[in-house]
Each structure stands twice: as structure tokens, then as C-alpha cells.
Structure 1
Amino acid sequence: MLDIRDLSISYGVVPAVKAINLKIKRGQIVSLIGTNGSGKTTTLRAISGLAKVNGGQIIFEGNDLTNSDTYKIVEMGISHVPEGRGVFPNLTVLDNLIIGAFIRNDKEGVKQDLQEVFSFFPHLEKRKNQLAGTLSGGEQQMLAIGRAIMAKPKLLLLDEPSMGLAPIIVKEIFKVIKQVNDKGTTILLVEQNSKMALSIANYGYVLETGKIVAEGNVEDLKRNDLIRTIYLG
């Protein structure tokens, strides 16, 4: 479904991602783990057209989307939940969700998906007329994920969905991520919480200083002594 080939990205003269290769099959949850500054967020930003690619290709469903406009990438079926959530604070919860469906013309489908988001996150339905900026951090993360779901993506990019949240909220969000995947959405998950990331993933990549240093099925990664020591404690 997604095939990243020799992807290289630099900020000025500083290389952030160094010729990485990464594949995602349809229906998978793939986790990309690594420490701060390893290039995880930059990789997601390149996929969604927010970071300029200096070398390599990003192929999605057979189409080369390298350095394409972001709106075209969304139309192709990729939604991105950025680090920091990025909700529209001065709009209501409902308006934020409706904006997520801006590329869609199927009004009945949008209504159905809105109810599905509310079934995933009952907190949001209770606060649908509340300004997004007044929500708690956990509720804003739920809203950011819900807004991305409203675009009906084939591939969902999630950047640090657990960041700064209480453990009980993290468990709730990861439960929904799994439910979204079970309904057919492929997911690329970037996380520093390696235990949680690998607990729901099918396959994982470990990124360090812009290079992939390990990859494999989740069970194999969990048995890797180096990964267990550094990332799993």
C-alpha cells in the first residue's frame, strides 16, 4: 500500500532522514519508534506533503506522491493527525469534525461517520457544541483523531497520540486506534511509548538519527535484547 524508497530529508545542511526504506501492507498497523530527534515526525510530514523530500520516493497505491500538494495527498486517501493535535480552538467540536470531511460529497456517509466517531469517543458527543480550545488535552487528542477519521482515509498517520496524556486516556485512545484498524483503515503510528505502540502493531521499525536500525514483526522486535533494553525497559 505504502512504499517508501531511499527517502532522504534535510533541514538546510542538516540531514534529518537518511535514505530509509519502509513498507506498509493494506490492513496493517505499523509502528515507527525511536527517541526524540530520530526523524519520526519528519517522515510522517514527508508522506503528507508537509516536509520537502530531497531524495527517494513515496509510493502510495502505485502512485508517486513525493512532494505532492498536501490537499492532493488527502484526496488520495491519507489523513495525518499531527503531533500537538492541531485542532481549531475557536471552532466547536462539531465544526472541527465536519471540517475533517471537507473533501467528501456523500452527506449521508458523513452523517454516519460522525455518529461512528461519537461511538468511539462519547466524550466528544457530550461536548459537540463546546469550543475545541476549552477541551482537555485528552479530549483534544480524541477530536484530532476523530477529525482525521471523518476524511474516510485509507491510511491514517498518527504522530505521538499518547504524548502528555494520563495512562487511562492513553489506553482509551489506543483501544480506538485498534477499532479503527479493525474496520479496515491502515495505520502508521509514530510513538515514543514503545510498549503501547508495539502492543497493537503488526510490524515495527526503529529509527535512530535518521536511519532505520531495526525492523520486523512485533514479536521478533520484543525479543530483540537491544530493543528490549533501550525501548521496552
Structure 2
Amino acid sequence: MTSDNQSILEIKNLSVNYGVISAVKQMNLHIQPGEIVALIGTNGSGKTSALRSISGLNKELQGQVWFEGKEITKLEPHQIVKRGISQVPEGRGVFPDLTVLENLKLGAYVRKDKAAIATDIQSMFALFPRLEERKKQLAGTMSGGEQQMLAIARALMARPKLLLLDEPSMGLAPLIVKEIFAAIRQVNEEGVSVLLVEQNATMALATAHRGYVMETGSIVVEGEAAELKNNDVVKSVYLGIG
């Protein structure tokens, strides 16, 4: 068991090295069931390396990753998806030569319940109505915002208990960002825990319950989102205040 058996996710002393470069240094982080937790920091601070370690995509790591009281550090990515963790990668990663509908069906590849998959596709169309309008369109021909909606919907098709989001606002117009974050809040209200990696610290802290700030591979500040919004370092470096 984890030392905190209430946590849905617990990272213990995680370190990731790429050759001589230390991307993540002795990182500790936890998420309670039903929480949105923001992980903010500048480019190169180690946020994506941390997410990839949770998803099983990073094998060059030390430390432990625990999910629902069981260690998942050494599991393969598809095994981690089956356990209940889905990741939306930076850059969206949709299959450009497949339609919206085909992308959504691929998101459910670990499932066999065809009737429930069909129901969930309709739920994704309710969450992002644009996807229904474009369900027969090739994903590669859609706008960046539409592709981000599809990437999130595809990840949700695995019915995750924990959703990992890597820079969901990157390169998107402000109105689309609001739509994406409204959907993230809705998904969370329906019971999915969220770890949100985001450079837009203002939006991230307005959405999250708690947050962690990373600098050069280390957590330097952590706390309730409201506390972080009032932290002098966070205000000056990440929120552009002061």
C-alpha cells in the first residue's frame, strides 16, 4: 500500500535522467480522488518527463509511481491504460489519416463492451459538439482546437479514473481554451481525477484544486491553488504580477 492510502496517484522520489541531464529530481507528488492538480513550470522544467513516467513511456527512471495503492512503475503503457490512466500528449497526437469517429474508437482499444463504447462516443459528442459535426472528417484536416478536443475525447474513451493532460492550451485561441477548460471541469465533476501540466498558470490555477510548481526538475512550491495564486514567486514568475 501507499503511505497515503487515500491518494489515487502517488509519485515517490521520482528521478529521470537523460544521459548526464537530470530532467526530474527526487519528485514527490500526490493526487486525491476527484482532484484536479496543476503542475506548472517553464519549458524544460521536467513536467512532460514526469507525465511520461506515470504513463510508462519513460523507462529511465528511479523512484516509484503508485496508482490506487499499487505500484505501477514497471508496467507497460497499455497495462497502465487498462488500470485507469489515460494521457493526452503535448501536440495532441491524433491519427491524422483517420476520421474523428475512427480516432474515438481507437481510444477504446482496451475495451470489449461494444454497446457501452457506442454510448460513450455519444457522450463525447455531447461534451464536444464540434466532433459530432466532423465525425467523418479526417483528423489531420481539423483546426488545432478541434484536434485538442478530439485528443481529450479519445483519451476519455478508455474510461480513465485519472486523466493526464500535457499543455492542453498550447497554441490555441483564448475562446477555444475556455471551451477546453470548461470540458476538463465537467469531466472532473463526473468523477475523473486530473493531472494538468500547463504553462498557462493563470488558467491552470483557476481550474485546479491544488498545484505544484516545477523548476529545473524539482518541485519548488506546492499548495492549494488559491495559495499559489497569492505566492510572491508564482505571481512574479508565472502570473506576470508584481
Partner of 2:80: 73
The equivalences for 1:143-154 within 5 A come to: 143-154=150-161
The residue type paired with residue 23 of structure 1 is H
Pick one of 148, 158, 168 that aligns with 1:161. 168
Find out whether 1:177 has 2:169 as its counterpart. Answer: no
The answer to which of 50-59 and 39-48 deviates more is 50-59
Report the Cα offset of residue 31 of structure 1.
Answer: 0.2
Pick one of 134, 141, 144 that aligns with 1:137. 144
**What's the C-alpha RMSD, in Å, of the aligned pairs?**
0.7
Report the Cα offset of residue 53 of structure 1.
Answer: 4.1
| DSSP-derived class of the 1:198 partner | helix
Query: Any idea what the Cα deviations from partners look like across 1:81-115, whole Å, max 9, x if unmatched?
Result: 00000000000000000000111112221111111
Report the Cα offset of residue 62 of structure 1.
Answer: 1.1
Conserved? CA contact 1:53–1:67, under 8 Å: no
**Normalising by structure 2, what TM-score?**
0.95
Deviation beyond 2 Å, 4+ runs, structure 1: none
Pick one of 59, 63, 71 that aligns with 1:52. 59
Pick one of 72, 94, 97 that aligns with 1:90. 97
Pick one of 120, 133, 156 that aligns with 2:127. 120
In the alignment, the residues of structure 2 paired with residue 192 and residue 225 of structure 1 have an alpha-carbon distance, to the nearest angstrom, of 17
The answer to which of 62-71 and 30-39 deviates more is 62-71
Partner of 1:209: 216
| DSSP-derived class of the 1:232 partner | coil
The residue type paired with residue 114 of structure 1 is I
Query: Any idea what the Cα deviations from partners look like across 1:118-141, whole Å, max 9, x if unmatched?
Result: 011111100000100000000000
Conserved? CA contact 2:18–2:60, under 8 Å: no
Conserved? CA contact 1:155–1:187, under 8 Å: yes
Query: Any idea what the Cα deviations from partners look like across 1:159-191, whole Å, max 9, x if unmatched?
Result: 000000000000000000000000000000000
In the alignment, the residues of structure 1 paired with residue 224 and residue 198 of structure 2 have an alpha-carbon distance, to the nearest angstrom, of 17
In the alignment, the residues of structure 2 paired with residue 203 and residue 31 of structure 1 have an alpha-carbon distance, to the nearest angstrom, of 6
Structure 1 unaligned blocks of 5 or more: none
In the alignment, the residues of structure 2 paired with residue 166 and residue 15 of structure 1 have an alpha-carbon distance, to the nearest angstrom, of 33
Conserved? CA contact 2:36–2:208, under 8 Å: yes
**Normalising by structure 1, what TM-score?**
0.99
